[in-house]
Structure 1
Amino acid sequence: MHADRTPNPGLASLISEARWTNGELARQVNRVGTEMGLALRYDDSSVCHWLTGTRPRRRARPAILEAFARRLNRPVTPAEAGLGNTEEAPAAPADGVTGLIELGGADMDPSRRAVLGAAGLFSVALTIPQYQDVIGRFETMRRNPRARIGYGEVEAVAAMTERISEIDDMFGGRHARPMAAAFLVNTIAPHLQAEASEDVRKAMLSAAADHLYLTGYMAMDERADGLAQRYYIKALELAGAAQDHLTYCTTLRGMSVQAVDLGHAPLSLRLADSASAASPEAGPRMTAFLSGQQAHAAAQTGHRATALTKIREAEVAMEKAESKAKAFGSYDPSSLAYHVAQVRYALGDKEAAIEALEESDRTRYSIYRRGRVRHLGLLAERKLEIGRLDEACADWHRVLDDFPHVQSGRCDDRFRAMLAALRPYVKNARAREVYDRARAIAASPRPSAREA
């Protein structure tokens, strides 16, 4: 830190608006810093120094701004927090394809992936590009006159995205995302710069947006949440350039899923509502897909009436949809049952939530191994909450059947939650059996199966 003995009324005003004590601000900054890969150790005396004119370290200032943004549900600028102009001067706008290459190029390098994940902070104050604002975003990008593409290249990109998605569903994003990033850099980016007819160009932009959405989803699954946001923003830009409402609103909905999963319910609801507004002519399956997420986010924010209305809309829409989903990323009865469970749980009906999760398990397609691990883990946790220990142990055994085969940060979260939930019950024979089996898996060479 360096001394600048001018009191900081801006910071004091923000602390007052947030209704925090100095110690509470310090703890929240430390928590955000952990997401950034920083080991911050601030306390109430640190905040007192900031208020009397000492500047926090430059690397910690984004954590301070993000902590306030999460509390106040709005962006907070460096100037407003009395931190001066801590942001670097904006660089000249990068060519759209250059930005994709920079993002994917860093992500496909195994030596840099851990750094990317640690440095990528999830931000509640992220600026979401509006659909109308990104329609012409890629019109002026540089073209390669020596390359030309047609619909064959578009179909190849779509097919590769579908194959990577299948691998992701079965084995988790750690296996599939390096392939996705490499394909983005080595194939999709050159295709976007090639000469093409207008309809082929838009089709390629749309296929690229789908691929970026999937790559962002895999980053989110690995808990590289800031990186996932960067992929999602690029997907929005390409979808707008392609005038592809479907991918644009699907991406917004994916961002809502990420936000509610991280506990940022107000942001999740805004994103879910924006996704629904961006798709006014949705068919019944898409309506269910969007309404189910709106219901989940509304329930998390305490909007009971909205949550119940939206989940009913999703149920009615699903009844109208075709019986089996075949499209990439489609919404099926198992997904709807999961949303029903989340809504019921948030509204206090734990028994109904458990019944819905059991229905989700019964109707899930067998290829969705990662989803089975996550949702069965959640089901077991909720059964334990109401005293159904034996049933919870049976479900956890099923989790452990699949867990060693899945490379997923979110599945790792459920694994650690299982170990923590079982520790108080290790004197019970069935609980001990599951616990010992889980510890044996945690002790294996598998790098993602670490105990908390």
Structure 2
Amino acid sequence: MNFRGVGVPVAPGSDRNSGLENLLEQAGWSRTQLANAVNRTAGEAGMTLKYDQSAVSHWLSGTQPRAQVRPVIIEVLERKLGRPVTYAEAGLRSPKPGPAVDSTDTTDSLLDLGRADMDPSRRGVLAAGLYSAALAVPLFAGEAYAEERERSVRPTGRIGAAEVATVRTMTDRIADILDELGAGHARPMAAAFLVNTVAPYLRASATGPVRRDMLSAASDLTYLTGWMAMYERAHGLGQQYYVKALRLAQDASDHVTYCRTLRGMSLQASNLRYGHKALELADSAAEAAPDAGPRLVAFLRGQQAHASSMVGDRHRAFERLREAEVALSRADSRRESIGGYDQAAYQFHVAHVLYETRDLPGSIAALKTSLRVQPKQERQGRLHANAVMAQRQFEFGHIEEACTTWGTFLDDYVGLSSARGDEHFATMRKRIAPYGKLRAARELQERSRQVAGMKG
């Protein structure tokens, strides 16, 4: 979508938008800076905007921006100010309400979101949804809330332990497909299963223990679906799934899945370079898990380490890494299929911390260790790790070594459906384009052309 107009005119003599003016002053932005921020952020939602300071001047004089643009303005202000901003505070009329995915009923809203995600005609719109850096996270409510939730269920049939096992098994299978074929194939399956099977189970009658188990199983699958959406660069959609996973975990009194989801949200924030938000979410996850087992502790400490390094807290970052290493050494040999944490994941966190603290050779060495100990079946994780390592080798000036690593990346890329893989592929081609005199680069360019033809 391409919007060039300023917005909806108002009647002569309308009051200036003092709310937006105050927020602009708080942000320390000029009118041009606000316009540029709106243009950049709109790109995340598939819109091409070409606003300049004159458009902002019109908004400040009382002109209402187009309805499609108002949420973008709110989001950029929230990101800059680091807090929620309402439409009224910004002097903007709220756009017409969207689909029922914002319903307060978790099951209904999950059903609506899953149906929209299943629909190819709407998937692009969902994927273009904006990530909110100022989103308020629902707090863990505990047993009392879970009991209240049980009384509010609308029974449609009855479920038992077998139905819970079905959801758990299907979640494991989807995770396997994710590793083997990529999120592009696995996520539509997850959305369909949520809609056609899990949502009816959530509405069925059950004993208290079975209901909690089902809510917990549903939360796990919803978390996985959100993770896949995030991995596919559909960050707004991933965030919606994550919030629903949190609420299901609340209903189930499931601290583990609640904390794991918060950690996933922290990872998403770190991917988008919101260091302070990533640290806030990682710390919230750790605080909500006082009785966590050693593997989950390692899982949480590793993310705290990464987020701490992003905000410049070197001491805390390395302290958290040490805590993660100690906790992981105490964990048993079993590895969860969903959101598990192992030596490969730990070394990946080490690589992130070293990179943020400007130790590029150390980061590359940690990535090599991570890849060496990574389970062979995890093609998607290996794809990402090789792409990251190649980019860092390239940054370090080791062009031929980077080309070799990118070649290994291509081995997995040809068999995976992954938006993140597509992004890495585009980055690779851009990086090596100027190096045609190097044999390794020429060979990689030729192979990349062949792969592009296969993918196209």
Give TM class, smaller chain. over 0.9
2:251 alignment partner in structure 1 = 241
**CA separation of 1:327/1:86 partners in 2, compared to 1, >3 Å: closer, same or farther?**
closer
The match for 1:413 is 423
- Distance apart, 1:424 and its partner CA: 2.0
Contact residue 260 and residue 339 of structure 2 kept, 8 A: no
Which residue, 310, 314, 339 being the options, matches 2:320?
A: 310
Alpha carbons of structure 1 residues 93 and 123: separation in structure 2 relative to 1, 3 Å: closer
Q: 2:69 is paired with a residue of what secondary structure?
A: helix
State the match for 1:366 in structure 2. 376
* Cα 1:387–1:137 shift into 2, 3 Å: farther
- Measure how far apart 1:280 and its partner are: 0.7
Partner of 2:150: 139
Matched, 1:346 2:352: no
* Cα RMSD for the two superposed structures: 1.9
Say if 1:407 and 1:383 are closer, same or farther in 2 by CA, change over 3 A: same
Equivalent-residue separation in structure 2 for 1:328 and 1:2 (angstroms)? 48
CA-CA distance at 1:321 after TM superposition = 1.9
- Residue 450 (structure 1) aligns with: none
State the alpha-carbon separation in 2 of the partners of residues 382 and 93 from structure 1: 43
- Alpha-carbon deviations, 1:395-448, whole Å to 9, x = none? 01101111011111122221111112112212211112112211221233x25x
User: In the alignment, what sits opposite 2:432?
Assistant: 422
Shift of 1:93: 5.1
Give the one of 30, 33, 37 matched to 2:46: 37
Q: Give how far 1:136 is off.
A: 5.3
Matches within 5 A, 1:33-112: 33-86=42-95, 88=97, 95-112=105-122
- Give the superposition deviation at 1:377: 0.9
Q: Indicate whether 1:166 and 2:176 are aligned.
A: yes
The whole-number CA distance in structure 2 between the counterparts of 1:135 and 1:418 is 49
Relative to structure 1, is the Cα distance of residues 304 and 38 closer, same or farther in structure 2, using a 3 angstrom cutoff?
same
Are the counterparts in 2 of residues 137 and 237 from structure 1 also a CA contact under 8 Å?
no
Residue 10, structure 1, aligned to residue 19, structure 2: yes
| Mapping 1:289-308, distance limit 5 Å | 289-308=299-318
**Distance change >3 Å, CA 54–CA 360, structure 1 → 2:** same
1:190-218: CA deviations, max 9, x gaps? 11111211111111111011010011111
Q: How far apart, CA to CA, are the structure 2 residues paired with 1:105 and 1:79?
A: 31
Does the 8 Å contact 1:96/1:141 carry over to 2?
A: no
| Structure-2-length-normalised TM-score | 0.93
Deviation at 1:83, TM superposition (A): 1.5
Distance 2:387 2:99 in 1: 45
Secondary structure (helix, strand or coil) at the match of 1:59 reads coil
3-state secondary structure, aligned to 2:150: coil
Matched, 1:285 2:295: yes
Q: Quick check: 80-89 or 42-51, which moved more?
A: 80-89
User: Sequence identity, in percent?
Assistant: 48
For the 8 Å contact 1:73–1:266, the answer to whether it is kept is no
Unaligned runs of 5+ in 2: 1-6
Query: Per-residue deviation at 1:154?
Result: 0.6
1:251: how far off? 0.5
Q: How many Å separate the matches in 1 of 2:449 and 2:99?
A: 49
Q: Which amino acid aligns with 2:440?
A: R
TM, length-normalised to structure 1: 0.94
- In structure 1, the gaps of 5 or more residues are 448-452
Q: How does 1:91-240 map to 2 (within 5 A)?
A: 95-118=105-128, 120-132=129-141, 135=146, 138-144=149-155, 147-240=157-250
1:24–1:350 CA distance, 2 compared to 1 (3 A): same
Q: Say if 2:447 is the partner of 1:437.
A: yes
- Once residues 357 and 104 of structure 1 are traced to their aligned partners in structure 2, the CA distance between those partners, rounded to angstroms, is 35
Report the Cα offset of residue 97 of structure 1.
2.2
Residue 144 to residue 324, structure 1, CA distance change in 2 (3 Å): closer
Matched residues, number? 444
What is the match of residue 31 of structure 2? 22
Asked whether the equivalents of residues 230 and 268 of structure 2 are also in contact (C-alpha less than 8 Å), the reply is yes
Contact 1:23 1:43 in 2 (8 A): yes
Counterpart of 1:178, as a letter, is P
Query: Secondary structure in 1 aligned to 2:49?
Result: coil
* Greater Cα shift, 8-17 or 339-348: 8-17
Q: Secondary structure, in 3 states, of the residue corresponding to 1:292?
A: helix
CA contact 1:205–1:238 (8 Å) conserved in 2: yes
Query: Do the aligned partners of residues 163 and 88 (structure 1) sit closer, same or farther apart at CA in structure 2, a change above 3 Å counting?
Result: closer
Distance 2:219 2:377 in 1: 24
Contact 1:124 1:267 in 2 (8 A): yes
Letter paired with 1:315: E
Structure 1 residue 88: deviation in Å?
Answer: 4.5
**Cα pair distance change 1:93/1:224, threshold 3 Å:** closer
**Aligned-pair CA distance for 1:116:** 1.7
Amino acid at match of 1:55: Q
- Larger CA deviation: 267-276 vs 125-134: 125-134
Q: 1 CA distance for matches of 2:406 and 2:276?
A: 32
The residue type paired with residue 234 of structure 1 is K
Provide the rounded CA distance (Å) in 2 between the counterparts of 1:266 and 1:72.
Answer: 12
Report if aligned partners of 2:103, 2:109 keep a CA contact under 8 Å in 1.
no
Counterpart residue identity of residue 3, structure 1: P
Cα shift at 1:141: 3.8
Amino acid at match of 2:57: C
How far is the alpha carbon of 1:230 from its aligned partner? 1.0
Amino acid at match of 2:155: N
